């Protein structure tokens, strides 16, 4: 049990760090701008973003395993990263997360800090949409770490 707990903690930490790097530094500006578009180009931009994000997480987990001697089971490794990748793609298509926020009574929070129509406002402290997006992803990092550590 202690081994699973330590594995979970280490995997979650690696996924969390890699998520932040992959979602903000590795993602291109083009991917960020296009991934929510309701077009084939938008879907492909989202696929490319999730692919590079998953590669970043894979690299982090490989570094963790290499530096600590941690052994990860290939099936749970792939299942955990797969669940995370699918959930990330779903949320980053944008209309999906916006619809969920609306259905859960969070639409006012989702729109909090959004630029006003016709302006170039740049909310530097983030927006409700960003906060809900990131909390969705972090929740799925937790689930992925549970799967990988199982």
Dihedral sign of CA atoms 48, 53, 54, 56 in order = positive
User: Exposed (0-12), middle (13-18) or buried (19+): which is 107, by Cβ within 10 Å?
Assistant: middle
Is the confidence at residue 120, as pLDDT, over 70? no
Q: What does pTM read for this prediction? A: 0.90
Distance CA 34, CA 93 (A): 9
Q: What is the pLDDT of residue 30?
A: 94
Q: What is the pLDDT of residue 114?
A: 78
pLDDT in tens, 78-111: 999 999 999 999 999 999 999 999 999 999 989 8
pLDDT in tens, 2-31: 689 999 999 999 999 999 999 999 999 999
**What residues contact 5, with CB distance under 8 A and at least 6 apart?**
none
* Residue in the structure block whose two tokens are 């929070």: 109
Residue of 47, 24, 46 whose CA lies nearest to 37: 46
How large is the average pLDDT for residues 116-136?
A: 77
Q: What is the pLDDT of residue 1?
A: 54
* Residue in the structure block whose two tokens are 């089971």: 73
pLDDT in tens, 26-68: 999 999 999 999 999 999 999 999 999 999 999 999 999 999 9
Domain ranges of the chain: 2-115+124-149
Is the confidence at residue 123, as pLDDT, over 60? no
Both structure tokens of 86: 């699918």
Residue of 7, 17, 116, 111 whose CA lies nearest to 60: 17
Distance CA 28, CA 56 (A): 13
User: Is 42:89 a contact under the CB 8 Å cutoff?
Assistant: no
Both structure tokens of 49: 């973003």
Q: What is the pLDDT of residue 117?
A: 73
Residue 114, helix vs strand vs coil: coil
């Amino acid at each position: 049990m202690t081994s699973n707990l330590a594995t979970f903690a280490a995997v979650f930490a690696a996924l969390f760090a890699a998520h932040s790097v992959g979602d903000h530094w590795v993602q291109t500006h083009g991917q960020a701008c296009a991934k929510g578009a309701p077009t084939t180009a938008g879907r492909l931009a989202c696929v490319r973003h999730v692919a590079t994000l998953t590669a970043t997480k894979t690299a982090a987990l490989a570094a963790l395993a290499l530096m600590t001697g941690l052994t990860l089971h290939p099936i749970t490794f792939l299942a955990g990263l797969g669940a995370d990748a699918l959930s990330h793609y779903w949320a980053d298509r944008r209309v999906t997360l916006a619809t969920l926020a609306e259905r859960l009574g969070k639409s006012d929070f989702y729109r909090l800090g959004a630029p006003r129509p016709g302006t170039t406002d740049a909310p530097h402290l983030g927006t409700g949409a960003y906060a809900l997006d990131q909390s969705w992803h972090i929740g799925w990092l937790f689930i992925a770490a549970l799967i990988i550590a199982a």
